[in-house]
A and B are shown apart, each in its own frame.
Chain A
Amino acid sequence: MGREMTNQKPQSEMSYTVQQLVSVNPYNPDILPDLENYVNEQVSSQTYSSNANLCLLRLYQFEPERMSTQIVARILIKALMAMPAPDFSLCLFLIPERVMRTEWVLVLWKGWGMTIGMQMEDQFKTLIVLSHYLETARFRQFWDEAAKSRHILEVVPGFEQAIQAYAIHVLSIAYQKVPRSVLAEAINIEGLVLDKFIEHHITNSGWAIEKNQNKGQLIIFPHNEFNDPELKKSAADGIPLENITRILPILG
């Protein structure tokens, strides 16, 4: 669920080196350009590394003059795609408010013109609004807003699929059987395309369909420990092995 269903491609050689840098020498201002390049590579190759991106945001926090709003926007979009993981919040924790606000002022001062400055700030605001809709499962509002912000989102391929995967995750932990209309709204697919989509998941993800009383279609998710109480209970009364070892000398 969640992370596993999104971007999953073999890592390139560059990403291997960057991962090493991040784990061995993360507190080093010199790796900043490598990390920025890596963000762009994640975008183009549809991979993701939250550790590397958090490392970069940290470096930006240490040296705000080196921050690139374009890169930050891309990191935030990738973080949205990682939902239900809380990566988007993790990123926001690291972005000082005054940087996000003064960016607009600096851009004006450098004489670039007001429109570009406003775009910069709007980008972050839009992403925060989109995150809010996703966090509160307001999928219809999310897709409406996403359609309006296509220019911001289309720079990152795979965005739509990632959000659809998240939507399905939320549905499948809440519902055993979900009405077709609810599913359609959540993943923003209707009609024949939706039929094909459902068929694909019947074959590959263990979905099933049946009709409800109103002759509407119901999609049945496979049972998991979150939407089926029976499955959860069986895990609850186990005792960890370490606890048993405490009493072995007594029993022996």
Chain B
Amino acid sequence: MTGAAPYDSDQPHGDSASSYDPNYVPDSVKSFVVHMYRHIREKNVYEIHQMYETSFQSISDRFFKDAPWPSVDAVATYVDNDHVFCLLYREMWFRHLYARLSPTLKQRIDSWDNYCNLFQVVLHGVVNMQLPNQWLWDMVDEFVYQFQSFCQYRAKMKNKTEQEIALLRQYDQAWNVYGVLNYLQALVEKSSIIQILEQEKEGLEQFTATDGYDYSGGSNVLKVLGYFSMVGLLRVHCLLGDYHTGLKCILPIDISQQGVYTSVIGSHITTIYHYGFANLMLRRYTEAIREFNKILIYIFKTKQYHQKSPQYEQILKKNEQMYALLAVTLSLCPQLKLVEETVNSQLREKYGEKMLRMQRYDDEAFALYDELFSYACPKFITPSASSYEEPLVNYNQDAYRLQLKLFLYEVKQQQLLSGIRTFLNVYSTISIAKLASYMEVDEDTLRTILMTYKHKMHSVDSDGKIISNMDTNFYIDDDMVHVVESKAPKKYGDYFMRQIVKLEGITSDIDRVKLE
């Protein structure tokens, strides 16, 4: 790469460090870039996807296990020095670096520059390519990931050298939170993706039906980047602790349906993970449970197909994290009937015991809430730069500690509710006086607890409507508590529908057999 300062070169940290020559281009790389370049020019999306997913991985495994790929300058000659291809190549180059090695500060800054250049080209609307959704998703995902990584890195002030601090001061625009948010916002706006999705509902546009691809000779890049940027914004806002705005950013996407976000498993999981987490923090427990349940079923059914893919480990990790979040949510709001059997049995296996202990709300319970939350939560960031003047301390944990503290504070406020639940599950009617004596509190306190229960188990949705998350329902008539039957009304409608579809499936199968 050009412009490497003497104290901070592109030398990787790894075994092949001494032997890394940025200008050495093995034949397989030469062939890779030549073919990739041709496929991109000819818009052969399928071939691009194959090369991007498979070839890149296998070449990396063979030659670049812990070294970067050849520099872009070295390969540029094989691709007519094409400006856009070089930007794309560099994007993959940096992603590989982040995955296998640790980037230096200079490399982080250079990667930021590359993203700026790449996004600017796309925003100017001069791009004429069709790229696979997987790649476009990876771009946005990696962009947010590198931002998160940079904030974590910047906040570890303690062992920073003077040169690093000087460089941070000089390049204060790199990975600046305003820059990151504005690029994502610009992609959403310039692509008009929100209007496209609106018009699609009325049949005036085709987007989801073609998985975002453009079959009329145009390019899918800006539109799909704009689409995935909405998920990117959801993620960034969650990292900042702004759950409300994060959910607003994702509003144009209907997550009750399939969509372009489900066309790439990484995007599907990231969307639902953050959506569920944001709902948990907003006390919209039933919504969180529903979505976690759906995605966990989906992962259970489909993960075998992704075993060979580079995303497999991430998929498994997010799967485990969402089980932890589900365990936490169900301990606060035991709506077990919303959880499907497969998920439920996995949940009991992983967290059955811990969930029982969490519902006791003693000291051990809080330790468990802490443990699961800390394991499963996003890597929160502090978006502001430090002043570099105060004594150099690490503040990379501050954001996480704040969110954890506020979460545990919420759990503490719900401490007395599980006691109420136990009694309400046993009685259909009970007087305030009796219930108070069983719970060993005075009547006034009991009334307070009952009202807290009602308040905590109702959330306010984005339109200001009150939504009930109540598992065990009740109402109070003067000094009598009336418990409402908590058995769910049998969903005859749903059952009949499923049987109809099933029968139709069997009938058409039989029809097919007859023809042979």
Interface on A for B, CB 8 Å cutoff?
A: 1-4, 26-29, 50-51, 54-55, 58, 61-64, 84-86, 89-90, 92-94, 96-98, 132, 135-140, 170-171, 173-179, 182, 212, 218, 225-229, 232-233, 236-239, 243-244, 246-247, 250-251
Contact = CB atoms under 8 A, between A and B. Distances in A.
Given A89-B406, A97-B401, A173-B454, A62 B448 contact: no
A110 B199 CA distance: 57
Chain B interface SS verdict (over half):
helix
A62 B455 contact: no
B494 A173 contact: no
Given A27-B182, A54-B244, A96-B398, A170 B454 contact: yes
B245 A58 contact: yes
B451 interface: yes
Contacts of A3: 460, 464
Contacts of A97: 398, 401-402, 405
Contact of A136 (B399, B444, B452, B473): B452
Interface string B234-274: 00000011111100100000000000000000000000000
Given A58-B242, A86-B282, A137 B476 contact: no
Interface stretch (B42-50, B303-311, B478-486): B478-486
Contact of B504 (A29, A90, A173, A250): A250
Interface of B: 177-178, 181-182, 185, 240-245, 248, 281-283, 382-384, 395, 398-399, 401-403, 405-406, 410, 413, 444, 447-452, 454-456, 458-460, 464, 466, 468, 473, 475-479, 484-485, 488-489, 491-494, 497, 500-501, 504
B455 A135 contact: yes
A84 B476 contact: no
7 contacts: A54-B245, A89-B410, A90-B244, A137-B451, A174-B450, A175-B476, A232-B484
Contacts of A85: 460, 464
Given A178-B476, A237-B492, A246-B497, A135 B244 contact: no
A62 B395 CA distance: 15
Nearest to B490: A237
B497 A229 contact: no
A185 to B, nearest CB: 8
Contacts of B395: 98
A250 B489 CA distance: 27
With a 10 A CB-CB cut-off, give which of A4, A29, A226 has the most chain B CB atoms: A226
Given A62-B384, A176-B477, 16 more contacts: A1-B466, A27-B181, A27-B185, A28-B178, A51-B248, A85-B464, A86-B460, A93-B281, A135-B452, A137-B448, A177-B477, A226-B458, A232-B473, A236-B489, A239-B493, A246-B497
A61 B242 CA distance: 11
Nearest to B183: A27
Nearest to A243: B497
Chain A interface SS verdict (over half):
helix
Contact of B478 (A137, A138, A179): A179
A137 B475 contact: no
A86 B455 CA distance: 11
A236 B454 contact: no
B491 A237 contact: yes
B448 A229 contact: no
B452 A96 contact: no
B473 A229 contact: yes
Contacts of A137: 447-449, 451-452, 455
Contacts of B452: 135-137
B424 to A, nearest CB: 13
Contacts of B504: 247, 250
Contact of A173 (B242, B449, B458, B478): B458
Contact of A84 (B398, B450, B460): B460
Contacts of B501: 246-247, 250
A2 B406 contact: no
Contacts of A212: 478-479
